Amino acid sequence: MSAPGVHVVLVHGAGGSPSAWSSVAPLLRARGIAYTLADNAMTSLRDDAASVRALVDAVDGPVLLVGHSYGGAVITNAGTHERVVGLVYVAAFAPDTGESVSAIVERYEPALVSRYTHRGPDGEWITRDDEESRAALAWDVPDDVLRAARYERRVTADAAFQQPTGAPAWATRPSWYLVATSDRHLLPEIQRDFVTRMCADADEVDTSHAVAHAAPERVVAVIERAVAAVA
């Protein structure tokens, strides 16, 4: 059960939508944890961080930010808001000052997702949505969830990945990290490097990048632990 007053804001990743948390949200409700779903336009990192900060403004009390994938970069920037008391990263980017998502990825070997991603006419990033890509990247996500998500997929502007991060919120707030050990989007070694750099409270789960659908109970367990710690 959540301590009174701690509100969770769930931030989806690139190309996603609030439905990224459709397997997690019912579990939070069942545990009495208040939450808000971010719905970012993914036009740029700055725009998305501003959008999340506006959600925090609307909450009367302390806030725990939870980010998946690119959403981790968003909460890293939005989390400096005075009401944010902690951060939870779910297979998510955790850039440092001056780093961009693209710069981080380029320091490592390409992940498998790069074979299924192409650029749109305006430089936006688009991941293929077919049987081959789903089998390679999201094999552990229930079919009904994949079918529903197909209608909410969106492209992500290049600025989301290229804009540098400001002072990272994880440097001044407690952080938790759930590593996806079979992730083919964000390499597990990158995730573990984030954990080490942030000195985050970490746990690991053997799933694809779609942790929130493949193991929603594990995501909620980390959120509950974080809520209890910051309350």
How many residues are present in the chain?
231
- Which option is the CATH number for 7-230: 3.40.366.10, 3.40.140.10, 3.40.50.720, 3.40.50.1820? 3.40.50.1820
What pLDDT digit, counting tens, does each position of 124-173 carry? 777 877 889 888 899 999 888 877 766 667 789 999 999 999 999 999 99
Cα distance between residue 37 and residue 19, in whole Å: 9
Cα distance between residue 120 and residue 48, in whole Å: 20
At residue 119 the predicted structure's pLDDT band, cuts being 50, 70 and 90, is confident
What pLDDT digit, counting tens, does each position of 48-77 carry? 999 999 999 999 999 999 999 999 999 999
> Bridge partners of 176?
88, 201
Domain residue ranges in the chain:
7-230
CA distances from 97 to 37, 84, 103 (A): 26, 18, 12
- Distance from chain centroid for Cα 60: 23
**pLDDT at 150 (0 to 100):** 66
Q: What is the DSSP letter of 172?
A: T
